[in-house]
Amino acid sequence: MPAGQANGKLSSMDSGQPAREGKVVLKKKVTLLRGISIIIGTIIGAGIFISPKGILKNTGSVGMSLTVWTVCGILSLFGALCYAELGTCIKKSGGHYTYILEAFGPLPAFVRVWVELLIIRPAATAVISLAFGRYILEPFFMQCEIPELAIKLITAVGITLVMVLNSTSVSWSARIQMFLTFCKLVAILIIIVPGVIQLIKGETQHFKNAFAGNDASVMGLPLAFYSGMYAYSGWFYLNFVTEEVENPEKNIPLAICISMIIVTVGYVLTNVAYFTTISAGELLLSKAVAVTFAERLMGDFSLAVPVFVALSCFGSMNGGIFAVSRMFFVASREGHLPEILSMIHVRKHTPLPAVIVLHPLTMIMLFTGDLYSLLNFLSFARWLFIGLVVAGLIYLRYKRPDMPRPFKVPLFIPALFSFTCLFMVALSLYSDPVNTGIGFAITLTGIPAYYLFIVWDNKPKWFKKLLGKSWCGTSLLHADSRRFSELSLCCEILQINALSCCELGDDDSFQNKGNFQNMK
């Protein structure tokens, strides 16, 4: 059943108009605790267990790698505070897409959701899912190499399970997310506590001359920041489900601030714990840093660590799919994606089509990509648009100064964060031109796609037929906002009587068949 009409405006649950009784909508089920679990549960995934290697490799020393972790945490906090302001003054779901649409209009917003659908979300899901597959198999291959095919097959099962879960129940997705968040924090503590004990024992040899080693290069430093910012990414996901958050003016800033403090402190202490036991050279050689650390200090109990890490990765997969499906849902509601993606299951109250559309794209990315290449590949487009969103916050301060802002950050915070994001993107074009060049080229394909699918109104009959019955079905459901010629074409394709088309619509589209006759 459609959630709304593609009428050029983003509909909102906070629009002040009460929902008609019996109307199918996404309900407000995200409390403060669930909001915190969404953010922490999505941030803490594979990054803290995989990215230490990427950061150390590109910074060249223990001291510089810890500095990058700290700076990335502060920058992520700045970005999260900016999104807290946007989430309280624009109380609509959709995250990046919604904010770009409000600030800069439909073209950049469409390009954002286009690249999210084609690159960012499939690649991000593939990256975290590959880590899930590797860690869940680690206890069974302690003495030998894990076959890559086995990793990808288990990963595919995990991705499918997440899609089914998010298609079945919002409440169960939230409950499982809270449980997995608890598992993530336990996994972090399993690393931090023994590391603190090591420091108390005086195991500080790896911190002597911490900044000695290879100097960080202009080419390597932005890639190190990419790895670090990837590990912290996820602080923006609560903004994707704003319309489902209870009391968003209060709960969104609180959830964001509490989550970022917990994650930043946890991440820095985890990296300190690693270096109490593992040298820089050993860390670079390890394929599973957390497992190597646990084997050194915990003996047989180390078998539990990869299980906790796999659950942590599964939580990031679940939280990411839960949040980003709402972006596709809102973009469809706006008319920038096929309208079928704005349909809600009438009994389960889940955006079923917006969830399952990611499955085939993620599978393609999974079986054709490399883990670290995917990490750098998706970072370009992701941080380009996040920087644009935060720049849009500054623009909205001047464009709409009277907009209510229950939570407001000092102007230097969005200025610094947006500049940092765009600077990293510019350097990445120089340091990793192949992956970022591919990402840039695919991003630009959103411009002709916008004019072809959105702006071009007078599409020929054969083109509309090529779009198929899914276009027709959603057109019929929103027939009151369509020209009669389009409705007639749908009826022709579906081979049904034109007058009976109105029976397919919901009560919002037609009150009776007389309305359809009046459209003629």
- Residue 79's pLDDT is 93
φ/ψ (deg, to 5) at 274: -55, -45
Give how far Cα 272 sits from Cα of 15, 34, 205, 221, 440, Å. 48, 29, 12, 20, 36
Q: Which residue has the tokens 């298609």?
A: 167
CB-neighbour burial class of residue 371 (10 A; exposed 0-12, middle 13-18, buried 19+): middle
- Residue 352's pLDDT is 85
Region of residue 10 (phi > 0: left; psi between -120 and 50: alpha; otherwise: beta): beta
The residues of the chain scoring below 70 in pLDDT are 1-26, 46-47, 49-51, 213-219, 287-288, 300-302, 369-378, 463-520
The residue type at 81: L
- Residue 186 token pair: 């336990």
Helix axis angle, 62-89 relative to 371-399, nearest 10°?
A: 40
Which CATH number applies to 32-120+166-297+371-454: 1.10.260.40, 3.30.70.600, 1.20.1740.10, 3.30.9.10? Answer: 1.20.1740.10
Residue 264 to residue 73: CA distance in whole angstroms = 5
Cβ proximity of 97 and 331 under 8 Å: yes
Cβ proximity of 241 and 322 under 8 Å: yes
Q: What is the CA radius of gyration of the chain?
A: 24
Longest CA–CA separation in the chain, Å: 84
The residue type at 396: L
- Residue 203's pLDDT is 81
Residue 317 to residue 158: CA distance in whole angstroms = 9
β-pair partners for 245: 30
**How many residues are listed for the chain in this entry?**
520
What DSSP letter does each residue of 143-207 carry, written as one string? TSPPPHHHHHHHHHHHHHHHHHHHHH-HHHHHHHHHHHHHHHHHHHHHHHHHHHHHHHTT--GGG
Give how far Cα 504 sits from Cα of 1, 104, 483, 490, Å. 10, 36, 17, 12
- Residue 505's pLDDT is 35
Q: In this predicted model, what pLDDT tens digit does every residue of 97-133 receive, in sequence order?
A: 999 999 999 999 999 999 888 877 887 888 888 888 8
Residue 44 to residue 39: CA distance in whole angstroms = 9
- Residue 371's pLDDT is 53
Q: Which residue has the tokens 């539990």?
A: 304
- Residue 437 token pair: 């060049």
Give how far Cα 21 sits from Cα of 7, 17, 69, 185, Å. 22, 12, 50, 41
Of 10, 216, 222, nearest to 97 by C-alpha is: 10
Region of residue 506 (phi > 0: left; psi between -120 and 50: alpha; otherwise: beta): beta
β-pair partners for 343: 2
- Residue 518's pLDDT is 40
β-pair partners for 30: 245
Q: What angle do CA 56, 384, 387 make, to 5 degrees?
A: 95
Residue 185 to residue 118: CA distance in whole angstroms = 32
